[in-house]
Chains A and B, each alone.
Chain A
Amino acid sequence: DGGITQSPKYLFRKEGQNVTLSCEQNLNHDAMYWYRQDPGQGLRLIYYSQIVNDFQKGDIAEGYSVSREKKESFPLTVTSAQKNPTAFYLCASSISLRETGNGNTIYFGEGSWLTVV
């Protein structure tokens, strides 16, 4: 089945550690995104990538890093510089904005819970 796969579902981070969240999609989408969701708040954009080997910061990129070496993969690293990393992380993908003049629907994975211990 086509879709977006995130792993792991649950992850625990110790103080000072970097952790990496995996995101893989087989929808043949050019664009991929990482969002963070906190209780009672809307989703906030961390990073996005419109094409392989290119990515841009979103609204809350500090303390995070990404790479886009393959079209289907967009891993997110939560570094020790992120002071409040406990949250629900959502990976998403869409066709590129360059392919359509209308809004490009963004599809989401099932999410990963990150907790600091």
Chain B
Amino acid sequence: EDQVTQSPEALRLQEGESSSLNCSYTVSGLRGLFWYRQDPGKGPEFLFTLYSAGEEKEKERLKATLTKKESFLHITAPKPEDSATYLCAVQAVSSYKLIFGSGTRLLVRP
């Protein structure tokens, strides 16, 4: 069964304290892995799509990487405005739909 597990469930950082969020997945053939940011009471905002192991993508303080079993979202020198829930999802070759993890709630304190 296709599955996505995100860890940790919650993460508290001081401003400037770099860290990583993990997304472990099992899927019968990966079509794509997606990262989203979600602010409270709002819809998810698309961040990155990764397609194959070894691929990396960056956007401001965020960098996403992909292996055959997991993806990491690295946050470098975070700011309070980076506080949000980060969602990971996978899409299998055999399917149309995204399978989501439960998310990591990130709080960055000034």
Contacts and interface: CB of A to CB of B under 8 A. Distances in A.
A106 B100 contact: no
A53 interface: no
Given A108-B43, A109-B43, A111-B42, A102 B51 contact: yes
B34 interface: yes
A43 B31 contact: no
A42 B4 contact: yes
Interface size classification for chain A: 20 to 34
B102 A41 contact: yes
Interface of A: 4, 6, 31, 33, 40-45, 48, 50, 58, 88, 90, 92, 97, 102-111, 113
Given A103-B51, A106-B34, A106-B98, A90 B87 contact: no
Contact of A107 (B31, B46, B101): B46
Interface of B: 4, 31-34, 36, 41-46, 49, 51, 87, 89, 91, 96-103
Nearest to B52: A102
A8 to B, nearest CB: 14
9 contacts: A43-B44, A43-B98, A102-B49, A103-B32, A105-B34, A106-B34, A107-B46, A108-B36, A108-B44
A49 B43 CA distance: 19
Nearest to A88: B41
A6 B98 CA distance: 20
B34 A103 contact: yes
A33 B45 CA distance: 15
A101 B36 CA distance: 21
Nearest to A103: B32
B24 to A, nearest CB: 13
A26 B20 CA distance: 35
